[in-house]
Amino acid sequence: MDFSVSTNVSGLLCPLSFSCLYTDSVVQLVLCGTRAAPEQEHDGMCVRSCTWEEQLWEQQEQLEREMVEARRMVSSLQALLLHGSLPEDEQEVSLSLGEGVENAEQQLVIIRSRLDQSMEESQELKRELLKYKQEARNLQGVKDALQQRMAVQETSVLQLKQELLRTSMNQDELAGQNADLQRKLEERNRLLSEYKKELGQKDRMLQQQQLKLDDALRKLTDCNNHNGFSHPAAVEHSVTQSHKGELQLVRDALRSLRNSFAGHDPQHHTLDTLEQGVASLMDRLYAVDSHHKQERKVAKSPRHKAPHTDRDSWPSSTKMSHSHSSPALSSSACTKVLYFTDRSLTPFMINIPKRLGEVTLRDFKVAIDREGSFRYHFKALDPEFGTVKEEVFQDDAVVPGWEGKIVAWVEEDHGEGR
- Within this chain, do residues 105 and 150 fall inside the same structural domain, yes or no? yes
Say what the pTM is: 0.29
Domains contained in the chain, number: 3
Burial of 42 by CB count in 10 Å (0-12 exposed, 13-18 middle, 19+ buried)? exposed
Task: Please say if the pLDDT value at position 379 is more than 90.
Answer: yes
- Strands (E) across 243-373 are located at 335-341, 348-352
Check if the beta carbon of residue 379 is closer than 8 Å to that of residue 407: yes
For residue 177, name the pLDDT band (cuts at 50, 70, 90): very high
Q: Which helix (H) or strand (E) holds 305?
A: none
- Within this chain, do residues 34 and 149 fall inside the same structural domain, yes or no? yes
Residue 207 lies in a domain: no
Quick one: DSSP state of residue 399?
A: P
User: Whole-angstrom Cα distance, residue 288 to residue 245?
Assistant: 18
CA dihedral of 268, 273, 279, 282, whole degrees rounded to 10 = -130
Lowest mean pLDDT among 189-193, 218-222, 287-291: 287-291
CA dihedral of 371, 372, 375, 378, whole degrees rounded to 10 = 0
Domain boundary among 133, 160, 187: 160
- Within this chain, do residues 322 and 233 fall inside the same structural domain, yes or no? yes
Averaged pLDDT, 184-193: 93
Whole-number pLDDT of residue 25: 45
Check if the beta carbon of residue 1 is closer than 8 Å to that of residue 99: yes
How many C-beta neighbours within 10 Å does residue 73 have?
A: 18
- Give the bridge partners for 402, in sequence order: 405
- How far is CA 240 from its chain centroid? 59
For residue 161, name the pLDDT band (cuts at 50, 70, 90): very high
- Per-residue exposure over 244-269, b if at least 16 CB sit within 10 Å of its own CB, e if not: eebbeebbebbeebbeebeeeeebbe
Residue 98 lies in a domain: yes
- Give the bridge partners for 350, in sequence order: 337
Percent share of the chain, pLDDT over 90: 28
For residue 386, name the pLDDT band (cuts at 50, 70, 90): confident
Whole-number pLDDT of residue 299: 63
Residue 39 lies in a domain: yes
- Within this chain, do residues 237 and 297 fall inside the same structural domain, yes or no? yes
- Report the DSSP pairing between strands 406-412 and 335-341: parallel
Residue, of 246 and 130, whose pLDDT is higher: 130
Task: Please say if the pLDDT value at position 361 is more than 90.
Answer: yes
* Tens-place pLDDT, residues 18-29: 344 444 444 444
Range of the domain at 289: 224-326
Residue 133 lies in a domain: yes
Residue 407 lies in a domain: yes
Residue 83 lies in a domain: yes
**Phi, psi at 185, each rounded to 5°:** -65, -40
- Within this chain, do residues 121 and 258 fall inside the same structural domain, yes or no? no
CA dihedral of 62, 63, 68, 70, whole degrees rounded to 10 = 120
Residue 305 lies in a domain: yes
User: Whole-angstrom Cα distance, residue 132 to residue 74?
Assistant: 25
User: Whole-angstrom Cα distance, residue 40 to residue 334?
Assistant: 111
- Within this chain, do residues 284 and 406 fall inside the same structural domain, yes or no? no
For residue 147, name the pLDDT band (cuts at 50, 70, 90): very high
- Give the bridge partners for 392, in sequence order: 376
CATH classification at residue 401: 2.40.240.130
- Give the bridge partners for 236, in sequence order: none
For residue 237, name the pLDDT band (cuts at 50, 70, 90): low
Task: Please say if the pLDDT value at position 367 is more than 80.
Answer: yes
Residue 196 lies in a domain: no
- Within this chain, do residues 45 and 18 fall inside the same structural domain, yes or no? yes
Lowest mean pLDDT among 6-20, 50-64, 212-226, 388-402: 6-20
- Within this chain, do residues 25 and 153 fall inside the same structural domain, yes or no? yes
* Tens-place pLDDT, residues 245-262: 667 777 777 777 777 666
- Within this chain, do residues 93 and 129 fall inside the same structural domain, yes or no? yes
Whole-number pLDDT of residue 27: 40
Burial of 293 by CB count in 10 Å (0-12 exposed, 13-18 middle, 19+ buried)? buried
User: Whole-angstrom Cα distance, residue 119 to residue 307?
Assistant: 164
Domain boundary among 326, 360, 384: 326
Average pLDDT for the chain: 74
- Within this chain, do residues 267 and 382 fall inside the same structural domain, yes or no? no
Own/partner long-range contacts of 65-71 (Cβ < 8 Å, ≥24 apart): 66/23, 66/26, 66/27, 66/30, 67/122, 67/125, 69/23, 69/26, 70/23, 70/118, 70/122
* Tens-place pLDDT, residues 312-353: 333 333 333 333 333 333 445 789 999 998 877 788 889 999
Domain boundary among 126, 160, 194: 160
- Within this chain, do residues 104 and 243 fall inside the same structural domain, yes or no? no
Residue, of 227 and 70, whose pLDDT is higher: 70
Quick one: DSSP state of residue 87?
A: S
Whole-number pLDDT of residue 300: 58
- Within this chain, do residues 67 and 18 fall inside the same structural domain, yes or no? yes
179 Cβ contact list (under 8 Å, min separation 6): none
